[in-house]
Structure 1
Amino acid sequence: MDPFTRRTALRVAAAGTAGLAVTVPGIAGASVAADQARQRAFAAAAAEFGVPEQVLLGVSYLKSRWDYNAGTPSTGAGFGPMHLTDLRAVAAGGSHHDKGSEDPRGDLARATLHPAEPQQAAPAPTLQTVDLAAELTGANPAALRTDPTQNIRGGAAVLAQYQRELGITSDNPADWYGAVARYSGATDSTAAAFFADEVFGTITGGAGRVTDDGQSVRLDAQQVSPARGQLRSLGLPAAARGDVEAPPDVSAEWIPAPYQQTGDGAGDYGNYDKAERPQSQQVTHIVIHDTECSYDAALALVQDPTYLGWHYTLRSSDGHIAQHIQTKDVGWHAGNWYVNAKSIGVEHEGFGAQGTWYTEAMYRTSAKLVRYLADRYGIPLDRRHIIGHDNVPGTIPSTVAGMHWDPGPYWDWGHYFDLLGAPLRSWARQNTGLVMIKPDFATNRPGFTDCDTAGAACTLRGSSAVILHTEPRDDAPLLQDLGLHPDGSPSTMGVSDVGSRASTGQQYAVAEVRGDWTAIWYLGQKGWFRSSAAVPALGQVVTPKPGLATVPVYGRAYPEAEAYPANIPPQDLTPLQYTFAAGQKYVAGPVLPGEYYWATTFDPSTHVVVRGKTEYVQIQFGHRVAYVKADDVVVGRP
């Protein structure tokens, strides 16, 4: 182990925060050869503007982990290591629920729900720190967005200006608490304090890593007791925590979604369904989303009774949490009613098409929230239960193509599970017949298209996605996904096309190995990828029962028709358009009951959970999960 890595590892051990405080270098050997230019840029900017270097490094870490991100915006309209914000540069209207044909409710017993596209609000001043940085430094906004050195200068200048406005002159890091809190962009004291506390926690614990563009940066641990009393000088109101369900050490508030009638009919209401989970149904999954709109726009939408509802929204700049629906109730968010009825939906402020990285502040609070919810509901911390919206299956063949793809291939699942305190490690000591997808996020840079302009190449950047091919070579075609491409054409490298793509933490059964290539079973086909992008995994697989040539694959785990009361129409058990044939294997997820939540009217006293005798096994069938009847398959070792 080289000295830098050893020192960093010691700081990790000393921090003792279950993976929440620091990150060790992520590129093997890079800590030796990495450039020191960014470290020098922080030192120079700190000296130029009179900001303690530890403070500048700590703020940047909580925003970007010191990454450059190729000069592209975060999902919260922030640029560069200091996350200088410029909403004008990434303005977008609507949310991801307005795009495509997905019905967010996903209940075929009710009329299709297609929310109208809302109007995007004007940028808030707190989302235009690029302007202030340009005024203070003389650099033009383009340079502040795309040149990391100028970006760091801009961030230092903004911090120094905030300190001057507080009337404090000091080179002691402890005296910069108020300026750091203001830099968060928070509009309430609770969120501002949370951000500042995380920054000073990082200063106390230390951090070190190699950035996405090969820069070696470190923050040596220093014991600091910040002047938290400065928070009062910002004049920010306290957040109304109210009935929020969240850990006590995060910034969270209760901003309720309305449950009210919107018309004369019993089924005209919004924008979620009352329930009594977990007494009525077990909560088995947490679904990770991004909003495709600003945080403020998302709040306006979720408070509109004609729109739809999810449980939580997280703000990018500081990780602040707003809860809208009690977790006992069922949100309309995942596009699949079975999944909705058994999940909690967590939205993250983001523009998936234009902004493609997520702030460390938001990753941290999201991980704390999800870990809290998982503990509360007994949800395992793995990729079978903590899933993206892009992993939710279509309900029937006609809905597959319209399903959404957020949070997208740039969500760092490996880092997220580190923060959850459940690292995606391989416990297998030898090949097991199963693999867990685990590319190196920083160096794994698929050539996606269509991020900003149709047909145009996306900026190459780190990704959790591994691309699958029909043969063991890089120039082989991608796999077919008959749900997304009914004409049988291959999948594409479009950023939203998940038809030939596996993701970090997902597990698959090995179909074949040739040299340094591995094939996995995927949507009824063999999908090939470089073996270095996966590690052996432990688990069980499902195979068709002897004598069955194929078994149906479903997008929802509904009960048999005989289970429904006379007043509730049975929901069709319609298989998806894929083939699961004898000889194929898929990794087994949880065994789930056949259930349907009948909740088609405003009066919750009429809501009924229909339970049958049929059980299902969730499987990792493609990029999305799917369900097979337990009676159709054998569950066992690979």
Structure 2
Amino acid sequence: MVGRALLAVVAAATLAGAAAGPAAAAAGRAPSAFDSAAARYDVPRDLLLSLGWAQSRLDQGAVGRGGDCGVMQLSVGRTLPVAEALTGLSRGDLCGSEAANVAGAAAVLRFYSDRDGLSSAARSDVNRWYGPVARFAGPVDDSIARLFADTVYDQLAAGFAGPARVAARPVAPERGRFEDVPAWGTASERSPDHPPAVWAPAHKDNYEVANREKSGPIDFVVIHVTQGSYAGTIAWFKNPESEVSAHYTFRSSDGAVTQSVREKDIGWHAANKDYNARSIGIEHEGFIENPAWFTDAMYRSSAALTRILTREYGIPRDRKHIIGHGEVPTADHTDPGPYWNWTYYLELVNGNFLKGTGIVDTPTGRLNVRGGPGTGSPVVGSVADGTKVTIFCQRAGSKVTGTFGTSTVWNRIGMDRWVSSTYLRTSQPGFIPRVPRC
């Protein structure tokens, strides 16, 4: 929580460019909201965008755990009160307007940078903002603060395309005191149950040590979506005020996994005492309203674990025993929501690692690869005529006329890499049987 003394300091702070007034809440979609906030608070625009991408995939409608809100996921217990004091805007404005939400986050980052003593010249160097970004994660372990900040900088280095585009570039963040904190997973204790996972135990008040003779066998796997970031979820399970935990959490970008509760013990994830006692809870980074979080890497890593769990505990590999949080009796949640691909997930759990293949056939010699399933998405690369590509999944997008006629079907051939089906020679035109829908 933000103390009164800190709020008093925040309220008195005078940032260059002045506190954001009503103009900061003016209507505007990315990148205009980010341009305005970056200029007002002298924060690197692409850093703001990378933070917003890591927090919400630039989705102003994202509502996180405990009411965290907007593109930047301003937190009720941390950044939102600071943003209110700095900008003079109400909580409703900061959560309801993208421009205000981004401005509020920029104000908070600038406040943190001033506390770190960053000069005007230093503020122009994106690598000098590591400390303020780590502090944006809130009062968490240094290891989780580093995980949070590294996620933002890794995304900045990789670049991305969406509501706004950030080009890939080399980064060399100045981590300061976090330099001596090992990167997540490099020196961390490994999971005692699932070796690929990092072991980061939940607070002892957030789960129950089980007596399996009393609690009975494990009969279910319960699938969740975090409504927040990977780092934030792990930190939430470590916070004794949360009174929640799940056994495992998977990261969207690469399928990395952290274990927070031993399988033999009872995680508090399903809001149903009986189901908690008889299940393994698996969280997946993202928001139920945005399918962009549900990557092939995360599906495959999670399904590999569920396949192991079902074998270990004799759980049938069907939808009666591998269920969503929203299917638990008395549950007040709806995750994993309408965009979770149950058909694909169960196929993976059952060992059917489905993919398709196609041969590029284009008269121009090279086929543009786009960042999304449509001609309006930015070009992120190209593939040569005659190249054999793997089709991970398919979805409908903009209509294209090409070598094989006219179609709205687009094929994902890599992470955020899409080509029209009209330029791929496949087993059949359009949607391919048993290749999953994205």
TM-score by length of 1: 0.38
Verify: 1:373 aligned to 2:311, yes or no. Answer: no
| Mapped contact 2:130–2:174 kept (Cα < 8 A) | yes
Counterpart of 2:324, as a letter, is G
Q: Aligned runs of 1:196-595 on 2, under 5 Å?
A: 196-209=149-162, 216-231=163-178, 244-245=191-192, 253-255=200-202, 257=204, 272-274=210-212, 285-288=221-224, 295=236, 299=240, 311-312=247-248, 325-329=261-265, 341=278, 343-346=279-282, 370=302, 373-374=305-306, 377=309, 384=319, 387-391=323-327, 402-404=329-331, 406-408=333-335, 410=337, 412-413=339-340, 538=434
Change (3 A) 1:297 1:226: closer
Aligned to 2:13: none
| Mapped contact 2:288–2:339 kept (Cα < 8 A) | no
Aligned to 2:44: 52
Secondary structure of 1:345's aligned partner: strand
Q: Aligned runs of 1:83-98 on 2, under 5 Å?
A: 83-86=73-76
| Mapped contact 1:63–1:361 kept (Cα < 8 A) | no
Quote the Cα distance in structure 2 between the aligned partners of 1:259 and 1:43: 41
Secondary structure of 2:200's aligned partner: strand
Change (3 A) 1:413 1:147: same
Change (3 A) 1:330 1:537: farther
| Mapped contact 1:274–1:330 kept (Cα < 8 A) | no
State the Cα deviation string for residues 274-299 of structure 1 (Å, max 9, x = none): 48xxxx989884532779x9947974
Change (3 A) 1:188 1:359: farther
Between 148-157 and 247-256, the greater mean CA deviation after superposition:
247-256
Secondary structure of 1:84's aligned partner: coil
Q: CA deviation at 1:311?
A: 2.8
Change (3 A) 1:274 1:158: same
Counterpart of 2:281, as a letter, is G
Q: CA deviation at 1:141?
A: 2.6
Aligned to 2:98: 148
Secondary structure of 1:254's aligned partner: coil
State the Cα deviation string for residues 39-85 of structure 1 (Å, max 9, x = none): 0111121111111111110001111111111xx73234212211112
| Mapped contact 2:210–2:266 kept (Cα < 8 A) | yes
Quote the Cα distance in structure 1 between the aligned partners of 2:159 and 2:238: 36
| Mapped contact 1:60–1:66 kept (Cα < 8 A) | yes
Counterpart of 1:165, as a letter, is R
Change (3 A) 1:411 1:348: farther
State the Cα deviation string for residues 10-58 of structure 1 (Å, max 9, x = none): xxxxxxxxxxxxxxxxxxxxxxxxx983201111211111111111100
Q: Larger radius of gyration, structure 1 or 2? A: 1
Task: Select 1:81's aligned residue among 31, 53, 71.
Answer: 71
Change (3 A) 1:246 1:365: farther
| Mapped contact 1:333–1:345 kept (Cα < 8 A) | yes
| Mapped contact 2:268–2:276 kept (Cα < 8 A) | no
Q: Aligned runs of 1:153-172 on 2, under 5 Å?
A: 153-169=103-119, 170=122, 171-172=124-125
Quote the Cα distance in structure 2 between the aligned partners of 1:163 and 1:375: 46
Gaps of 5+ in 2: 1-26, 182-186, 228-232, 359-430
State the Cα deviation string for residues 104-143 of structure 1 (Å, max 9, x = none): xxxxxxxxxxxxxxxxxxxxxxx23222112222323321
Q: Aligned runs of 1:96-107 on 2, under 5 Å?
A: none
| Mapped contact 1:41–1:152 kept (Cα < 8 A) | yes
Quote the Cα distance in structure 1 between the aligned partners of 2:297 and 2:210: 24
| Mapped contact 2:74–2:80 kept (Cα < 8 A) | yes
Aligned to 2:426: none
Quote the Cα distance in structure 2 between the aligned partners of 1:364 and 1:160: 36
Quote the Cα distance in structure 2 between the aligned partners of 1:63 and 1:413: 19
| Mapped contact 2:221–2:282 kept (Cα < 8 A) | no
Change (3 A) 1:81 1:245: farther
Give the length in aligned residue pairs.
Answer: 309
| Mapped contact 1:207–1:221 kept (Cα < 8 A) | yes
Change (3 A) 1:57 1:50: same
Change (3 A) 1:259 1:63: closer
Greater fraction helix: 2
Q: CA deviation at 1:345?
A: 1.3
TM-score by length of 2: 0.53
Gaps of 5+ in 1: 1-34, 87-126, 210-215, 235-239, 261-269, 304-308, 393-401, 430-534, 540-638
Q: Aligned runs of 1:90-129 on 2, under 5 Å?
A: 127-129=77-79
Please give the root-mean-square deviation of Cα atoms over the aligned residues, in Å. 5.6
Secondary structure of 1:346's aligned partner: strand
Quote the Cα distance in structure 1 between the aligned partners of 2:299 and 2:204: 23
| Mapped contact 2:291–2:340 kept (Cα < 8 A) | no
Aligned to 2:89: 139
Quote the Cα distance in structure 2 between the aligned partners of 1:190 and 1:290: 20
Quote the Cα distance in structure 2 between the aligned partners of 1:131 and 1:202: 27
Secondary structure of 2:164's aligned partner: strand
Change (3 A) 1:359 1:75: farther
Counterpart of 2:69, as a letter, is F
Aligned to 1:173: 126
Quote the Cα distance in structure 1 between the aligned partners of 2:290 and 2:199: 19
State the Cα deviation string for residues 331-350 of structure 1 (Å, max 9, x = none): 67655979965x42136899
| Mapped contact 1:73–1:357 kept (Cα < 8 A) | no
Q: CA deviation at 1:152?
A: 0.9
Counterpart of 1:84, as a letter, is L
